[in-house]
Structure 1
Amino acid sequence: MAPGVELYMFDSDGDGVSRRSILRSAAAGTAGMSLVGSAAGQEVSPDDPAPGPNVTFFGFDCDPDREEFYTEVSREPTHDFGESEVFELDSGRDGEKIQLAVTWPAPLEDEAEPSDDYPVILRATPYVSDLRGYTVRDCIRTRRLAENYIQQGYAVAAVAVRGTGGSGGCMELMGPNEQADIDQAVTRLGEDPRSNGNVAIIGRSYDGTTPWMPARKGNPYLATVVPFSGVPDIHELMYKRGSPETRGYAILNGLYYIISLAEHGPNSGTGLRTYLSRASCPDNYAQGTLWSSYAAATGEYDPSGYWTSRVLKPGVARNYDGSVLMVHGLQDWNVDPSQVYPWTKSLREAGIKTHVYFGQFDHRYPDDGRIKNDDDELTAAFNPDWADFLLKWFESELKGRDPAAIDDVIPDGTDDSTPTDPFAARVNAQSSDGNWYTADEWPPAEADPTKLYFGTDGDLRTAPSDETGQETVYVDPTQSYNPQPGCDACVTVESEPFDADLRFAGEPVVEVTVTPTGPANHLTAHVYAVDENGDTDRLGWGQVDLRYAQDGPEAGTVVPGEELDVRLPIEPLDAAVETGQRLAVVLSQGTAAGRVESPTPTPVEVETGGDNGLTLRAWGADLPSPETVLAGTRSTGASAYTAGQTSRQLVEVSTPETGAVEDVVPASWTVYVEDNPDVTEVREENGVKRVVFAEEAAGGETTTYEYFAEVPTSADETGYYRLGPAEILLAERTEVPGTGGEAFVVGAET
């Protein structure tokens, strides 16, 4: 505790000590600060920006003349613009400079005294100049926040991430020092005497990633995060299932090194001393380049821990005590939707208040004026009330107002064809037909698991075929990107026209048996709606390297000529196939969304007929009942654990036939039969433990099994662990789709 500071800790109802209050007391005094200047600027720093005009190459700077379209709040101002300041903190990690700018609200002229009870909205970003000489109203990344919310009683702040703008140190691309710096900035703002102690972090893309950093650390002042297209697992984005993006070959790292060393240098206002601190980082830049190349080649996490330290998801589920408004475009292929779904389900299972906003836009804000169709018209994905939507969220999460009583934000008579109220439901989602809807979960409850099967005659059918066939896919340079139904180098299956609208949402999965002809292959799936004229609308896509034929963090071995069962997830979507349209699935060795093909691709034989097919969470059209589908789910309680913690496993199995069920857990995990009524036996077999359930799964029903497992305790057992999939004994032992998972365990001494 800081000297002379007296802390009284009560929860919001005044009847006990809250978890957040305890954390705040532990954090008190950790954010050392020196005030080096303000808008008035009383002091001279020995690290002054160079004189002359600022010159940047990419426009990642503060320029008051640059314009951006954004919506404006409807409510009349309750405050005026107040004092602007720039703080420089000494990083608690290594003493490097953290530059932080903030503009506070001020009372309107007819109000007497300033308040000392302002929430703070922060944007942590690599896209600002040295902030001395600027305010958050000058920088395009913070202007929309400043112009909308300062006059509503919120302070707005910006912090330049390590190695950018006016902050010192090495650009780490979301690394541990950067995470600690942003956490320290949140603490500094939360402890400011003018703050009410509640801080939000908001931003898009890289700036949508930084909110997860203090959330991962459980910062007690972080009340809510609003990430737009954020990246909580950069490795998964770049190298998912062994299929790297073009940016994965050290290009993304290189871009941010250029921003640090060329964009934000003395030429753009950064002080010479600060610049020199980031120019002396050859080892840092070499490591990023090396491990990016390693991951691109192998698909694996590197042995050095470079990528593991940048996986933010486990710590968020374990430590965060605030709320989440998750915003993502379902057409965003810069940051794929799989970055946030199905993770949103895990956040809720961890007890974190999570609302989602999924629209049919790409890498944009919901109120970006560029969300237009081919006729240059704004589409239904554009939200004209977005600023009001956010204000209502902030009024609840930062000021503590009852959502049901916030009636002064959204104007009467607002068009409700787009979302206006973040509390109308936990989900606001838009289908590919342009229509918005609300639900309490996503996919909505009426979406049942349904499987459509690949026929041997190119048909997509509602029942499996007794026959099987084989077709060959291979690389076709003439149609390598988004190959269309009927392409020569593909396998195409297509349904009959639907007699009612078909809706499906979530993460569809292609399950198919293949026979590779070489050791380095990939398989891509595209899903299309096809109209009566043969015109297509791409609904979704997915791609895997066959070394990652099944879910898991490590590559398997591909043996030419040996059959391989492939589970290929389609990127999360919310799709509509209209009456009269057909649904088509195209399997190929093409690519999509910036993914690259295997370095030495060879043809792959794809099996059709039998149980090969596409599993959907669907509703609307007349489809098979869910009882005909073998499917399941797994809930793990959390995605990360510390040594010796107990993990709750909840496994659901839907099966068309009755059968005995066993789950699979790592051999180092402990399951006590006497403590788990659903478990009758635990045996070790082939390097894993098999958890045998007492009751069979009943045919035509969904059976739920619950048990508890203790995770490993030693430091050398830190890492990712694969769980499941569960297996059911029918005619033979069969994996239950959807029951796989993974968890990260932190050993006792790490």
Structure 2
Amino acid sequence: MPVAALAGTATLAVGALSLPAHAETARPHIVVKDGKTQPVFSYKDAIREKIFVETKVDSDGDGKRDRVSVYLTRPKETNEGLKVASIIEGSPYYGGLHDTPYHPADVTDYPRLAPWTAPSGPPGTPNYAFPYYDNYFVSRGYAFLAADTLGTGDSDGCPTSVGPNEAQGMKSVVEWLTGDAVAYDANGKKVEANWSTGNAAMAGKSYDGTLPLAAAATRVKGLKTVVSISGVSNWYDEYRANGGVVAPDGFEGEDLDLHAKVVMSRKNPAICAPVMHDIAKKMDRVTGDYNRTWDDRNFAKRAAHFRASVFMTSGLADWNVKPLQMSLLWDGLKKAGVNRKLWIHQAAHDDPLDVRQGAWLDALNLWFAHELYGVRNDIMRQPKVDLERTPGNWETHRDWPAPDARPVRLGLNSNGLGKPGHGTQHLVDDPSRKAEELAAKPDASDPNRLIYLTPELKESVKLSGTAEIKLRAAINGRSPYLSAILVDYGTDERVSGYVRTSDTWCYGDSIPTDQGCRAVRKYTTAVSDFKIVTRGWMDIRNRNSIWHSTPVKPGQEYTFSWPMQPYDYVFKKGHRIGLMILATDHAYTLRYPAGTKVDVDLRGSTLTLPLTR
């Protein structure tokens, strides 16, 4: 279709520009106004069909190529000659979840795995109603494909926490839209996407926001753009940190294998038991070392392979898919020169549809129109970064972290943070105590942590980027962890949550089985004396490399250096910046027996903060 010449301000018909006026009105066409496609098609009357796309992998080992189950919704006019672009949300969640035991977070001898038996059947019937892209975009001239990732829902194969087979599964769905893969209906009849323009996007949140990155890394033709909301760009940094086994917030004991077991909603799931056991072995929960299994799932590393542009979002309060996932991918895309856009909000593992409602849909409409239909609008001329500084107050920036942020090195000393110190200070690990308790009284001594404070700030300063800690220390005990936590001390009203209200709002079209409405969410605030801003962890045995563990000699001093999670935060005038050092971080790391002693040599220890005003 001749869409490249479209302007963004007039009302135009995509694909009809060269036709006489009477032909334009007779042929179904996509309408563009102000750079966005308009709702001119019926969602209620859309064609809905189930197809099965054949892949080139056999991940369940049954001797047959795996097939991806796809629930497809497209305007009925596609049966009358209209060709449309496609939006795909691949997901393991359509088929439901199994209740799977978490691995123990408390360690007595070495990290152990929870016993597991494959379920006897799927947890329920697939439900494709939760995405919102169909409710909004089908009427605006797009097909929407809800694809069960391999091993889930009505698909064949085995789930692998977005391993190479799942990437190939999503690649095959895109290839079907370009005519390079085969699909069948439930009766085994071939189905062609003769309505497809060959241009596709992938979009989704969390796991659904990770599959697009995996597909983009395959360089599949036809995948023009991906929208990754709280997506995992490197699975190692989801479940490990500098060699240490860590958990997503609120999911102690979760690991790579458990995520695959939970979503294994396919029929006859027992066929995938060998695959689950293989993941559990290769993820190496004992040493925490990086290896081939993790490298296969490092999509940020493969950003240079992306042909697709990337629109990504991340929550500063998201300690499930932590801020590092956003930062790694953003840096990789920037180095590779990939077209990209970033929204950073103050909520947690939340969707920008809730955080910014109509503004998010407008931005997506502009983005998809530009990338999938070639509409010349201003989306690529807008600032690359939108950042929510406080609830509802958004800033725009040309990049992130702030280009004018500069590293400020602070020494650890007996009086706090600032000048280099001398002498040795000590802590004894107590894994039963949580970081919030240990941080609550910074001016009091505590045997289980060390705290270093700046004087009250004379003016506000902004942290933008990655804080780094260097610690000269001797360790004697069972725990291999060192943890660093950055704290804002000063009484203030702060965001305390992001909650569902009793109000609803409607963002798109509805049918009885798929409503285009959802609950309104809002921020809550509370007055508090401090806030944990960011944190970071390391396994001291990986001080030289995440690929290999090297034992430490008890009582011998080493230099340990590691980053905290990237962040963006304003420390206000009159507040104090605090650094808390501990061994076990109760909510995130494994918990070895109490008693590990950490002796910190102040002379060789520093905190470096990327700061700007």
CA contact (8 A) 2:485 2:580 kept: yes
Q: 1:422 to 1:556 in 2, by over 3 A?
A: farther
The reply on whether 1:531 has 2:490 as its aligned counterpart is yes
CA contact (8 A) 1:589 1:597 kept: no
1:603 match: 597
CA contact (8 A) 1:515 1:560 kept: yes
Query: For each residue in 1:149-205, what CA deviation from the matched residue of structure 2 results, as whole angstroms up to 9, or x when unmatched?
Result: 111111111110111100012222222222211110111123332222211111111
1:450 pairs with one of 408, 417, 424: 408
In structure 1, C-alpha distance between the alignment counterparts of 2:468 and 2:423, rounded to whole Å? 20
1:580 match: 574
In structure 2, C-alpha distance between the alignment counterparts of 1:98 and 1:161, rounded to whole Å? 6
1:376-391 pair list within 5 angstroms:
382-391=356-365
Q: 1:553 to 1:252 in 2, by over 3 A?
A: closer
Q: 1:402 to 1:243 in 2, by over 3 A?
A: same
The reply on whether 1:176 has 2:176 as its aligned counterpart is no
Q: 1:385 to 1:250 in 2, by over 3 A?
A: closer
| TM-score normalised by length of structure 1 | 0.61
1:437 match: 395
The reply on whether 1:89 has 2:76 as its aligned counterpart is no
In structure 1, C-alpha distance between the alignment counterparts of 2:162 and 2:553, rounded to whole Å? 37
The reply on whether 1:79 has 2:11 as its aligned counterpart is no
Q: 1:176 to 1:248 in 2, by over 3 A?
A: farther
* Structure 1 residue identity aligned to 2:384: R
In structure 2, C-alpha distance between the alignment counterparts of 1:585 and 1:479, rounded to whole Å? 17
The reply on whether 1:102 has 2:66 as its aligned counterpart is no
Query: For each residue in 1:576-605, what CA deviation from the matched residue of structure 2 results, as whole angstroms up to 9, or x when unmatched?
Result: 111111111111124165332446761111
Q: 1:101 to 1:330 in 2, by over 3 A?
A: same
1:327-338 pair list within 5 angstroms:
327-338=313-324
1:338-357 pair list within 5 angstroms:
338-357=324-343
Query: For each residue in 1:224-274, what CA deviation from the matched residue of structure 2 results, as whole angstroms up to 9, or x when unmatched?
Result: 1111111122122112212213468565523532432xxx36xxxxxxxxx
Q: Secondary structure at the match of 1:210?
A: helix
1:435-584 pair list within 5 angstroms:
435-457=393-415, 459-461=416-418, 464-465=419-420, 467-477=421-431, 479-482=433-436, 483-484=438-439, 485=442, 486=444, 488=446, 489-518=448-477, 520-531=479-490, 535-549=529-543, 552-584=546-578
Give 1:487 shift: 5.6
CA contact (8 A) 1:507 1:616 kept: yes
In structure 1, C-alpha distance between the alignment counterparts of 2:593 and 2:324, rounded to whole Å? 24
2:612 match: 619
1:396 match: 370
In structure 1, C-alpha distance between the alignment counterparts of 2:350 and 2:39, rounded to whole Å? 27
CA contact (8 A) 2:256 2:280 kept: no
Q: Matched residue pairs, number? A: 491
In structure 1, C-alpha distance between the alignment counterparts of 2:413 and 2:583, rounded to whole Å? 20
Query: For each residue in 1:603-648, what CA deviation from the matched residue of structure 2 results, as whole angstroms up to 9, or x when unmatched?
Result: 111122x45222121112xxxxxxxxxxxxxxxxxxxxxxxxxxxx
The reply on whether 1:154 has 2:149 as its aligned counterpart is no
In structure 1, C-alpha distance between the alignment counterparts of 2:550 and 2:456, rounded to whole Å? 39
In structure 1, C-alpha distance between the alignment counterparts of 2:79 and 2:239, rounded to whole Å? 51
Give 1:139 shift: 2.3
The reply on whether 1:254 has 2:208 as its aligned counterpart is no
1:187 match: 175
Q: Secondary structure at the match of 1:596?
A: coil
What's the RMSD between the two structures over aligned residues?
Answer: 3.0
Q: 1:386 to 1:532 in 2, by over 3 A?
A: closer
In structure 2, C-alpha distance between the alignment counterparts of 1:80 and 1:532, rounded to whole Å? 53
Unpaired stretches in structure 2, ≥5 consecutive residues: 6-34, 59-64, 97-125, 180-192, 493-527
Structure 1 residue ranges, 4+ long, deviating more than 6 angstroms after superposition: 10-13
Q: Secondary structure at the match of 1:158?
A: strand
CA contact (8 A) 2:161 2:257 kept: yes
In structure 2, C-alpha distance between the alignment counterparts of 1:599 and 1:241, rounded to whole Å? 21
Q: 1:599 to 1:206 in 2, by over 3 A?
A: farther
Q: Secondary structure at the match of 2:327?
A: coil
In structure 2, C-alpha distance between the alignment counterparts of 1:605 and 1:434, rounded to whole Å? 45
Give 1:11 shift: 13
In structure 2, C-alpha distance between the alignment counterparts of 1:572 and 1:239, rounded to whole Å? 16
Q: 1:571 to 1:592 in 2, by over 3 A?
A: farther
1:23-62 pair list within 5 angstroms:
none
2:130 match: 141
CA contact (8 A) 1:503 1:575 kept: yes
| TM-score normalised by length of structure 2 | 0.74
Q: 1:434 to 1:77 in 2, by over 3 A?
A: closer
In structure 2, C-alpha distance between the alignment counterparts of 1:440 and 1:556, rounded to whole Å? 42
Q: 1:279 to 1:542 in 2, by over 3 A?
A: same
CA contact (8 A) 1:231 1:237 kept: yes
Identify which of structures 1 and 2 has the higher relative contact order when contacts are C-alpha pairs closer than 8 Å and 6+ apart: 2
* Structure 1 residue identity aligned to 2:84: Y
1:121 pairs with one of 83, 87, 91: 87
* Structure 1 residue identity aligned to 2:150: R
CA contact (8 A) 1:162 1:170 kept: yes
Q: 1:492 to 1:481 in 2, by over 3 A?
A: closer
* Structure 2 residue identity aligned to 1:88: F
The reply on whether 1:324 has 2:296 as its aligned counterpart is no
The reply on whether 1:315 has 2:302 as its aligned counterpart is yes
Unpaired stretches in structure 1, ≥5 consecutive residues: 1-7, 14-72, 131-136, 266-274, 369-380, 405-420, 621-750
Q: 1:558 to 1:434 in 2, by over 3 A?
A: farther
1:245 match: 246
CA contact (8 A) 1:433 1:575 kept: no
In structure 1, C-alpha distance between the alignment counterparts of 2:479 and 2:215, rounded to whole Å? 40
Q: 1:558 to 1:574 in 2, by over 3 A?
A: same
* Structure 1 residue identity aligned to 2:234: D
Query: For each residue in 1:678-715, what CA deviation from the matched residue of structure 2 results, as whole angstroms up to 9, or x when unmatched?
Result: xxxxxxxxxxxxxxxxxxxxxxxxxxxxxxxxxxxxxx
1:623-634 pair list within 5 angstroms:
none
1:201-212 pair list within 5 angstroms:
201-212=202-213
In structure 2, C-alpha distance between the alignment counterparts of 1:76 and 1:299, rounded to whole Å? 50
The reply on whether 1:297 has 2:270 as its aligned counterpart is no
